[in-house]
Structure 1
C-alpha cells in the first residue's frame, strides 16, 4: 500500500506531466530556485540563469540591505582586496578604470553593485531577508525554507526545487575568545562590523591581530591616532609578489586600458601568467620557494630596519605555508614613534585595556579586533536532508563535497563556495 510520501510524489509527477503536455516539445521544465546570498556568487548565478534559461523562478535572499556581500559589509579603514583589481573581475565584465593595483572595498562594492544594476538582477533579490532553516521533503521533492524578514522580525516560508547556498565565508565575523572582552568599558570595534561614526583622532587605540584585516588597518589609522598598541601573536610574511607592488594608475594608463586595443587583456594575462608561474613558490625547497624566501626576508628587513621587529616578525617557516598579503605600508607603520608592538598572548581584557603574558596591562581608549571570520564550510542555518542528516553537523566533523559543489545525501542542493578561500 502506497504511503503519503509516494502519493505526494506521484501527484507532483502528474502535475509536471500536465505542464509538459501543455507546451511545445522539449520545453524546459519549470524550476523554482532559492539562492542564499547576493554577493559575487549569488549575482553571477542570477546572471547565468537569466542569460541561459527561461522557464525558471529565482529568489535570492540577502541578509544585508544591499547586494555585493562581503564588499558591502567590510568598510574598515584600508579595506581592500589583495588580488590585483583587474583580475578581480569576471572575464566577460572588465572594469577599465580601477584606481590602483589593489583597489579599496568601496570601489569593489561599486563594481558588483553596478553589475547588478546593469543586468537588472535586483528583481531576483530580497534584501534584509535571512535564511534560518531548510529541510528537504521527500514527499514533494522540494526544499522547504524558513526566512526571517529582518525589517518586521517575522518568519516567512518558501519552497524550491533547487537550493543554492552562496552565503560565502568572509562575512560571518567573530570576536576573539579572550576572557573579559565584553567587560571592556572603552569603544569596542570589529573590522568586519565597523562603526564609521567612531572618531579615532587623538585616541590611544589597541589593535588585535596581524592577519589580512589587521595588516590593512594599521597603516590607515596610524597617521590619525595619538598612539597605537598592536598585539601580535605570531610572525607572518608581509610582502607583495615581485612585480605586483601597489601602484595608483595614472589618468593616461586608465585611458590606455579603455582605448588601446588589447591593452587591458594583455595586462590581465600578464598578471595571470606571472601568478601562475609562481606555483613553485608553494613547493618547499624548490628554486622559486628559496628565491622568494630570500626576497621576502630582504624586503622585510629593509622596511623594518629594527633588530627587535625583525626577530619577532619574520617567520622561521617557509613562504607559502600561509596566505600571503602584500601589506601596503604595514611594516613601515610598525616603525613609527606612535606605534607600540606587543608580542605574545592577551591573557585577559579588563575594563580599561589588555593584560598580556608579559605581565603588563596596556590601557587603551578604543579596541579594534581584526580577528577575522568563521571560515568553516558548515552552513549558518540547519540544512536537513530527507534522511534527517544536518549538514551543519556533518561538516562540523569534516567538510566533504563532490566536485566542490554537492554534498552526499543532500539532493538538489549546491554549496556555491567550497573552494579553500586561501590558506591560513
Structure 2
C-alpha cells in the first residue's frame, strides 16, 4: 500500500471537520491537513439525512458558527437544504473544499512511537483500494448521527417494495398513493410524516415508547428581518445571545433538585396540555410517557401531532414480528398492507472506531474503555495512552437542551489550544495525564447521577455494562466554554 503524509488528518467533513479546518487556518495560519469523508458530498449528517421534512430543531440563529453567522435562513427552524448550503458556504469561503477527499473511509489507525505519528489505513469506497496516510495529529470529527440503526425484522428480505432508513433516503423515491409503514417515533419520524402524508395512500406508524412533544411553531423569517440581520451585525449578535440564554434555562430541568423538579413538572404540563388539545383522544395513551422528561430528547413539534387527525394516519404500539411480500405482521396477529417501509429507528453510536484505533503498546480504544470502566474522554476530546489523537463530538459532548454547534466550537478551540505546540514544531506529541482523565471522568459521572439522565431509563446514550451515560455533558455552557478556552496545562504531557 502507498503511504501519504499530512501534518493533520481529519475524519469527517461535517460541521466538526470543516469548523476545525477553518479554525486551523484562521487561528494558526495552518493548511497542511486533509479531510476524509465516506459520503458523496460534504455536510456529514446534513448530507446523509435528506428525507422529506428533514430540518433542524434548534433556532436557526443559534445553529450557525459564532465566527460565521448566517443572516439568510428563511425560517426559525430551517430545512436540511439550507443548513447544507450554509455549511458549503463556510467551506468555500475558507478554501476547505480542495482539502476534502470524498468516498473515502478510515478503517483503522495505529500510533507509531518511534516517529510520533499516526498510521491511518484508509479505503477508497469506489474501487475498494486501501492506502496508508501518516500524520502527526489524527482527529475524528465523525458525528453520532452517522451509522444508521436497523431493527431486526424477520422476513424483511421478502418484502417487494423499498425498505429505507431515513438516513439513506433517495430523492427519487415516489410515494404517491403508496401504503407506507413507518417504524419509530423519534425526531425523524415526527418530521417525515407531516411531509409525506398528503401524497401517500396511508401511513401506519409503529412506536415502541411515547415521547414528550413540545409545541414549537416554525415561523418564516421575513425578507425585512433577513436584511436587518445582514446589514446590522450587532442586531444579529444580540439576537443570537438572547436565544442562547433562553435555551440555557432548559438545563435546569435535567437536575433532580427542587428547582429541577419544578421545571420538569412545568414542561410536562405543557407537553400534556399540548397533546390533549391537539391530538385525537384515542391516541393520548400512546403519547403519554411514564419516564422522566429529559431521559430522552424532547421533540419540538411543528406539524406531527396535527397530522394524527388525518384519516390516512394510524398510530399503534403493536410491534412488528415479521415482514411479508406486501405487508407486515404484528404481535397481535394483525396484518398491515404496505408498499413502502420507512425505518426511522435512529443511529448506532459506533462512530469512534473503538476496535480499530490502537495507541501505545498496541492498546485498542475499546480495551482502554474496558479497563477504564466505560466510554469516556478527558473533556470529551482525548484519552491517555493515545497521543496526538482527538475527538470532536466525543463521549459526553452532547447537549440535550442547546445547539450541538456550541459544543463543537468549544471542542475545536480546546484541540487547537493544546495541539498548537505540535503544529508549530515545538513538541512531537501531547497526551492527557491519566490522573487528569480519571478525575474528569469521575466528576462527569458524579454530576450525571444528580440528573434524570441516568435515573429513570437506560437508553442508547448509556453504556449497557456500566450504566454510564456517555452522551451528555451535565454542566452549563459557560463552564464548557471556560474549560475549553483555558486548558489546564498541568493536565497534559508534552514530548519534544
> Into which bin does the TM-score normalised by the smaller protein fall?
0.7 to 0.9
Q: Residue 272 of structure 1: SS of its match in structure 2?
A: helix
- Map of 2:398 onto structure 1: 420
Q: 2:311 matched to 1:350?
A: no
**What is the Cα deviation at residue 56 of structure 1?**
6.0
Q: 2:367 matched to 1:405?
A: no
- Map of 1:368 onto structure 2: 342
- Could you tell me whether the CA contact under 8 Å between 1:378 and 1:392 is conserved in 2? no
- Map of 1:57 onto structure 2: 32
1:103 to 74, 78, 100: 78
Q: How many angstroms apart in 2 are the aligned matches of 1:107 and 1:230? A: 28
- Map of 2:364 onto structure 1: 390
Q: Residue 325 of structure 2: SS of its match in structure 1?
A: coil
CA displacement, residues 229-270 of structure 1 (integer Å, 9 cap, x when unaligned): 111111101114xxx532111222222222346322222222
- Map of 1:258 onto structure 2: 230
Q: 2:294 matched to 1:320?
A: yes
- Could you tell me whether the CA contact under 8 Å between 1:280 and 1:287 is conserved in 2? no
**What is the Cα deviation at residue 272 of structure 1?**
1.3
Q: State the aligned residue count.
A: 391
Change (3 A) 1:380 1:224: farther
- 159-168 or 123-132: bigger deviation: 123-132
Change (3 A) 1:261 1:411: closer
Q: Pairwise mapping of residues 304-343 of structure 1 onto structure 2 (< 5 A)?
A: 304=279, 306-343=280-317
Task: Could you tell me which runs of 5 or more consecutive residues in structure 2 were left unpaired when the two chains were aligned.
Answer: 401-452, 454-458, 460-496
**What is the Cα deviation at residue 377 of structure 1?**
5.5
2:244 to 261, 266, 272: 272
Q: TM-score, structure 1 length as denominator? A: 0.87
- Could you tell me whether the CA contact under 8 Å between 1:227 and 1:339 is conserved in 2? yes
- Map of 2:273 onto structure 1: 298
Q: Residue 405 of structure 1: SS of its match in structure 2?
A: coil
1:181 to 153, 156, 165: 156
**What is the Cα deviation at residue 317 of structure 1?**
2.6
**What is the Cα deviation at residue 381 of structure 1?**
6.6
- Map of 1:13 onto structure 2: none
Change (3 A) 1:253 1:229: same
**What is the Cα deviation at residue 53 of structure 1?**
2.3
**What is the Cα deviation at residue 395 of structure 1?**
4.3
Q: How many angstroms apart in 1 are the aligned matches of 2:49 and 2:369? A: 26
- Could you tell me whether the CA contact under 8 Å between 1:234 and 1:344 is conserved in 2? no
**What is the Cα deviation at residue 350 of structure 1?**
2.2
Task: Could you tell me which runs of 5 or more consecutive residues in structure 1 were left unpaired when the two chains were aligned.
Answer: 1-29
Q: How many angstroms apart in 2 are the aligned matches of 1:153 and 1:261? A: 48
Q: How many angstroms apart in 2 are the aligned matches of 1:349 and 1:254? A: 49
- Could you tell me whether the CA contact under 8 Å between 2:147 and 2:351 is conserved in 1? no
- Could you tell me whether the CA contact under 8 Å between 2:36 and 2:104 is conserved in 1? yes
- 204-213 or 374-383: bigger deviation: 374-383
Q: Residue 348 of structure 2: SS of its match in structure 1?
A: coil
**What is the Cα deviation at residue 214 of structure 1?**
0.8
- Could you tell me whether the CA contact under 8 Å between 2:369 and 2:375 is conserved in 1? yes
**What is the Cα deviation at residue 386 of structure 1?**
2.7
Q: How many angstroms apart in 1 are the aligned matches of 2:35 and 2:253? A: 39
Q: Residue 72 of structure 1: SS of its match in structure 2?
A: helix
Work out which of the two has the higher radius of gyration on C-alpha atoms and give 1 or 2. Answer: 1
Q: Pairwise mapping of residues 9-24 of structure 1 onto structure 2 (< 5 A)?
A: none
Q: How many angstroms apart in 2 are the aligned matches of 1:55 and 1:101? A: 35
- Map of 2:110 onto structure 1: 135
Query: What do you get for the CA RMSD once the two structures are aligned?
Result: 2.0
Q: How many angstroms apart in 1 are the aligned matches of 2:354 and 2:310? A: 41
- 61-70 or 41-50: bigger deviation: 61-70
- Map of 1:150 onto structure 2: 125
Q: How many angstroms apart in 2 are the aligned matches of 1:310 and 1:293? A: 14
Q: Residue 13 of structure 2: SS of its match in structure 1?
A: coil
